[in-house]
Amino acid sequence: MNFPQNRAFEWVSQNLQPFVLGVLVLLATARFLYVLWPKWRIFRQVPGEDRFKYPLKRLGHTFRIAFLQAKMFKEAKAGWMHALIFWGFLIFLLRAAWFFFIGFFPAVELDGGGLETLYFFFKDSFIVLVTLAAIYALYRRTVERPERLTLSLEGIVILVLILAIMMSDALFDAGWQARNPQASMSGAWLGSLIAPMLSVFEVTAIIHLHNMAYWMHVICTLYFMTLLPGSKHFHIVTSIPNVFFSNGFEGGNQLHRIDFENEELENYGVSKIEEFSWKKLLDLHTCTECGRCDVACPALASGKPLSPKQLTVDLRDHLNNETPHLLDNDPQRSDGPLLLGGIINDETIWSCTTCGACEEECPVMIEYVNKVVDLRRGLVLMENRYPAEFANAFKSLETQSNPWGFGSNTRADWAQELDIKTWDKNNPTEYLYFVGCNGSFDDRGKKIATAVVHSLKSAGVAFSILGNDEGCTGDPARRAGNEYLFDMLASKNAELFKEKSVMKIVTHCPHCFNSLKNEYAEFGVELDVIHH
């Protein structure tokens, strides 16, 4: 079965149509690439980051998060709205390609082998679904106006363009069937439904409507494309790659060790926007400004000056503003705005609890914690600027291996009456119970540690503790931006684990759990860490 020859040649003749369409495509593509090219150049010159490991896991993760929209449905109405528009977008990619194909090759016929009937059915069904979703999206932005959303004229324009593309698609089929009642367009049920309604118009009007639908569809599609790289809707291009390159299927916050022995390193952490890796910059361009991160953020809920969404938007806007200067290779430029203490206030950076709730909510897998820690590293290691109360904590971690200044020789005092074995390399137990600073020194933490000991004994688990040999994992120092201190503490612990042949660890502290399980591999120890 051949595709019906649904063509529109009255406004632009068949011979001239490929040239007119070619000019429009050339202009739109040139505009798209003109805005995109500087961003691509920046990606190529900023620090690299290995995000290509585990390609099959990444593909599976991308299919679940990006294509199935798995994280969208935590809010049912908004989730279905976005998912329907996204799925419709995928279906209409083929339809858009068809519109351009028949414009460039108006006389060519293709045999769909019957598949066109099935495609037209799904295509028309999604025209209805996407139209309803876009209307609801307009209603949310103009009437409901949720506080978490960034409301802008740009968002309205995009939704109007989507509606125009949907209506022009349906009208193109309907106009052809109204002009050619004898023509069969199997599966195009929406066009067949609308075509009789057009009979109230004169033939000339129907011809103009048919031609208008074609060119309206083409022009709206091209205009939509030109808007993407220069707006927040660039996430339509970047979101799927961003999900693919994310490490959401792995644990931890992707905080990596700094090689302090590398004499070529001039900066530790981030104090300039160009010091972020390409993946972190891709995050910035991927933000949809949906505000889900803000709703989940405990710092924002408690009144602190931190909005994860605004932090991302401010960094993105700063990146866009600095891009021309970065491409000019002007290292002596001194009149630009400061990133630390300027674009991003110190108080904003220190307000983050690094809990990762924002990352859990983000539907496009933006990573926030590693950027905050990078900025803190810049403040602490490069500018020696941090809250005054950190000074004593850093000193205590360095000298006593806990942030409160308790003597390291009292670390095991909590366990004196509990008859717990101390780890013996020559006669090791199956598990090491890593107590952590909280369980060793804090009064409430000691109760938790005692309860864990009773539970392990009741379960018949063979375990020991390190006693006074145990030290802080260094997590408080790392989260506070003092990577050098973390490196020192983690290196010492890693050597101790290797010396004592520790392989399996139980811990009740979530901070110790994360650090030992997800961050100590870079220090040469592979630990099987279990949370109680």
Residue 495 vs residues 492, 498, 499: alpha-carbon distances, Å: 5, 5, 6
pLDDT digits (tens, 9 = 90+) for 477-491: 999 999 999 999 999
* pLDDT given at position 263: 87
With respect to CATH, is domain 17-245 assigned 1.20.950? yes
How high is the mean pLDDT of the chain? 93
Query: Is 47's pLDDT higher than 70?
Result: yes
Question: Quick count: other Cβ atoms within 10 Å of Cβ 143?
Answer: 7
pLDDT confidence bin for 183, thresholds 50/70/90: confident
Average pLDDT over residues 116-123: 90
Question: Quick count: other Cβ atoms within 10 Å of Cβ 128?
Answer: 15
Residue 80 vs residues 62, 269, 363: alpha-carbon distances, Å: 18, 40, 13
Sheet holding 463-464, edge to edge: 463-464, 431-433, 504-507, 528-531
* CATH code of the domain made up of 273-382: 1.10.1060.10
Both structure tokens of 303: 């009144």
Give percent of the chain above pLDDT 70: 98
Q: Which residues contact 399 (CB under 8 A, 6 or more apart)?
A: none
* pLDDT given at position 400: 97
* pLDDT given at position 207: 94
Question: Quick count: other Cβ atoms within 10 Å of Cβ 20?
Answer: 15
Query: Is 253's pLDDT higher than 90?
Result: no
Domain segments of the chain as ranges: 17-245, 273-382, 389-531
Paired sense of beta strands 504-507 and 528-531, if any: parallel
Contact 507, 482 (CB under 8 A): no
Both structure tokens of 217: 């569809």
pLDDT confidence bin for 99, thresholds 50/70/90: very high
Same CATH topology for 17-245 and 273-382: the answer is no
Instruction: Look at residues 125, 134, 208 and name the one whose alpha carbon lies nearest to residue 165.
Output: 134
pLDDT digits (tens, 9 = 90+) for 406-460: 999 999 999 999 999 999 999 999 999 999 999 999 999 999 999 999 999 999 9
Query: Is 382's pLDDT higher than 60?
Result: yes
In 271-388, which ranges are continuous DSSP H helix?
A: 278-286, 292-296, 298-301, 308-327, 346-351, 357-361, 369-377
Phi, psi of 507 (to 5 degrees): -145, 150
Residue 137 vs residues 125, 165, 236: alpha-carbon distances, Å: 18, 16, 16
Which position has the higher pLDDT, 331 or 415? 415
Query: Is 311's pLDDT higher than 60?
Result: yes
Instruction: Look at residues 380, 391, 394, 390 and name the one whose alpha carbon lies nearest to residue 270.
Output: 380
pLDDT confidence bin for 1, thresholds 50/70/90: very low
